[in-house]
Structure 1
Amino acid sequence: MEKGNRPELKELHCSDLAKEIDSFLGDGYRLDMIMPADDPREAIVSKVGESVRIVLSPGLSRQGPPEGGTQNWIAGRAGMEYRDLIPDRLDGRVIASHIRITEGGEVPDYVHYHKIWFQMIYCKSGSIRVVYEDQGPPFVLEAGDCVLQPSGIRHRVLESSVGAEVIEVSSPAEHETWVEHELKLPTSEVKSNRDFGGQKFVRHVGRHAQWKAAGSNCIVAETEIGNATKDMGRVRTMKIAGHGTALVESGDAFVFLYVISGAVLPPSKCPTLHADDHVVITDRSGVTLTALEDSEILEVRLREI
């Protein structure tokens, strides 16, 4: 029940958002919206004739690390744990998250969609079963796969292997996640070329990637995300053999480099990047990466932010 289609909102402040949501659901309300996904502090619930906006009281956001977790991991939406990779989020323009699902099996998710300008998800390890509106039956994201999730596309995370991990890059940093109460997935029709607000859904399967030479002892695999976003965003992976180099082109407002494996020497004045390290480039400059050992790197680019 989006803005414009719901009764006037009542507002309630609380000290525990998850507990307050559960209380309303127990009283017959339904969840309509929650935000942000990585550290929820606002939600909308409703039932016939009434809609309530629940807001976490100021100063109570940001939880400590979940039990058994490592520093900087926090509990997010649908049982997922998040680690923020860009602490200042570039003044709210971009968020890059390292997300993990510690428990295997069914994920407590629901059909939903995001109000977003750009969002891609790269599967770093493990496997996750997902389903998307108009894209056919559920499929499994495996390590090396990635998807572009256009704004408004309905989707759901169904199942996960134990400890599956993904890297997610989204713009803007904070955005609304709306629950879809009517549409059931999978949809009966497949519309693989459907336009969602100027973008098309992309599923890139890593094991089917076409690798091309680029640089010294370097190969790259491009995705179709550039075409699907009219080059507003581009995503590729690079493999650099030990002592080889790769050129990261100049020109885009945001470049995010995440080391999947190995070790690389980034631009001057930056320490060596090892597996799970990352760097953000925002000055539109080009840089050369030098691999200290066989390495694989995820590159996400946004033309403007």
Structure 2
Amino acid sequence: MSQTAEVLIRCDDLAPTLRFFTQELGFRIETIFPADDPKVASLSGHGLRLRLEPGVGEAGTLRIPLESEGSQPRSLAAPNGTRIEFVDPDPPIEVPPLQSEFIVTRVGDGPGAGEGRAGMLYRDLIPGRLGGRFIASHIAIPEGGPVSDWVHFHKIRFQMIFCRQGWARLVYEDQGEPFLMRAGDCVLQPPRIRHRVLESSPAFEVVELGCPALHETLADHAMTLPTGRLDRERDYGGQRFLHAVAADTPWTASAYPDFEVRGTGMARATAGLADCRTVRPAGATGFSATPFAGELMFGFLLAGSASLDCRGAHALGPADAFVIPAGEAWGINGASADLELLQVELPA
């Protein structure tokens, strides 16, 4: 016989609280005692089992999903003090207003990488998060091997991953069999697409950028990946999945004289929301960029060194990052021959 776990809630006066939970909230009584003067009761409802008992525990808070579309969130207080919150089970994404800022983040600056989800090491590339609108992380898996990940998805407006070194085996909802993402490759993760990281090489590193900075990661224990389907044109919240393979993408002339660029096709996949490219020298050691008028101009040195020209000169090396505020002129000088600069822009 299976047993159900109970959440203990303090209740020193059972009768009015029992009426509230059964009549107002729709719970049903499972057990109650003693019969002549009830003090303890177990109730079930809304996927929960509660135990109301005097003298122990706390009154607590219950969050109950709204059952009908269009209902407004609200709260109630039970006679025993328990707070009842009726909440939207799938609230809309909140994208905070942009707080523009000039940022240079070097490898040696600030705290080191901290352990995040699935044992991955996260280094923050935009410490101020631009008012909570964007997050950028330099993520590493030093040892390699199987990754303790699970099928999950993100409630996001935008999220991309660019592989700096090593490889990882990934699998995505309705995008065929697992595949390898290698150095130079880029993946766009559209909103709510289910996915999983299966394994990685040692010294695996990626740059991940998302909007908003604070977003939910939700497990989907009901889905098994791969799904056995392949739908390259499937729409996920107005975007399509993208795996841009560096080995299949030629370098072409850049808007910066004597530099060349390798694109990703992200502008098309995001319907103009974002773009991502890698830039490298092709004879020159610097360029002056036209001021960008959009939300975000993010740069990350994949390799090599250079000086960033914006509000002065800033020496940059491998794995250093920067953000240029909207409308400000900037440029690169003294680029080494092996410089590779990752650029991400929103909008495209």
* TM-score computed with the length of structure 2 as normaliser: 0.66
Residues in 2 aligned to 1:171 and 1:283: alpha-carbon distance in whole angstroms: 17
- Number of residue-to-residue matches in the alignment: 244
Query: What displacement does 1:71 show?
Result: 4.2
The C-alpha deviation readout for 1:234-256, integer Å capped at 9, x for no partner, is 10000114643345442222110
Query: What displacement does 1:271 show?
Result: 1.0
* 8 Å CA contact retained: 1:241, 1:293: no
The aligned counterpart of 2:285 is 244
Q: Which of 157, 167, 171 is matched with 1:117 structurally?
A: 157
The aligned counterpart of 2:347 is 303
Q: Which amino acid aligns with 2:345?
A: R
* 8 Å CA contact retained: 2:149, 2:197: yes
Residues in 2 aligned to 1:128 and 1:302: alpha-carbon distance in whole angstroms: 26
Q: CA RMSD in A?
A: 2.3
Residues in 2 aligned to 1:107 and 1:156: alpha-carbon distance in whole angstroms: 9
Q: Which of 39, 46, 49 is matched with 2:47 structurally?
A: 49
Name segments (4+ residues, structure 1) moved above 3 Å.
Answer: 50-53, 246-249
Q: Which of 161, 173, 194 is matched with 2:213 structurally?
A: 173
The aligned counterpart of 2:94 is none
1:130 counterpart = 2:170: yes
The C-alpha deviation readout for 1:69-90, integer Å capped at 9, x for no partner, is x942111001111000111111
The C-alpha deviation readout for 1:129-167, integer Å capped at 9, x for no partner, is 000011110001111001000010000000011120100
Residues in 2 aligned to 1:201 and 1:102: alpha-carbon distance in whole angstroms: 27
The aligned counterpart of 2:142 is 102
The aligned counterpart of 1:65 is none
Q: Which amino acid aligns with 1:182?
A: A
The C-alpha deviation readout for 1:11-46, integer Å capped at 9, x for no partner, is 99xxxxxxxxxxxxxxxxxxxxxxxxxxxxxxxxxx
1:283 counterpart = 2:326: yes
Q: Which amino acid aligns with 2:321?
A: H
| Larger Cα-atom Rg | 2
The C-alpha deviation readout for 1:166-201, integer Å capped at 9, x for no partner, is 000000001000001111111111001100000001
Counterparts of residues 129-208 of structure 1 (less than 5 Å): 129-208=169-248
Counterparts of residues 257-268 of structure 1 (less than 5 Å): 257-268=299-310
1:273 counterpart = 2:316: yes
* 8 Å CA contact retained: 2:299, 2:341: yes
Q: Which amino acid aligns with 1:153?
A: I
The aligned counterpart of 1:234 is 275
SS of residue matched to 1:83: strand
Aligned residues with identical type, % of pairs: 43
Residues in 2 aligned to 1:248 and 1:194: alpha-carbon distance in whole angstroms: 35
Query: What displacement does 1:301 show?
Result: 0.8
SS of residue matched to 2:328: coil
Q: Which amino acid aligns with 2:298?
A: F
* 8 Å CA contact retained: 1:235, 1:301: yes
* 8 Å CA contact retained: 2:305, 2:317: yes
SS of residue matched to 2:118: helix
SS of residue matched to 2:199: strand
Q: Which amino acid aligns with 1:49?
A: G
Q: Which amino acid aligns with 2:221?
A: H
The aligned counterpart of 1:60 is none
Counterparts of residues 10-89 of structure 1 (less than 5 Å): 49-50=47-48, 71-89=111-129
* 8 Å CA contact retained: 1:254, 1:284: no
Q: Which amino acid aligns with 1:201?
A: F
Q: Which amino acid aligns with 1:261?
A: A
Query: What displacement does 1:261 show?
Result: 1.0
Q: Which amino acid aligns with 1:159?
A: E
* TM-score computed with the length of structure 1 as normaliser: 0.75
SS of residue matched to 1:292: coil
Q: Which of 119, 130, 136 is matched with 1:90 structurally?
A: 130
* 8 Å CA contact retained: 2:308, 2:331: yes
* 8 Å CA contact retained: 1:220, 1:237: yes
Residues in 1 aligned to 2:247 and 2:343: alpha-carbon distance in whole angstroms: 18
Do the aligned partners of residues 11 and 81 (structure 1) sit closer, same or farther apart at CA in structure 2, a change above 3 Å counting?
Answer: farther
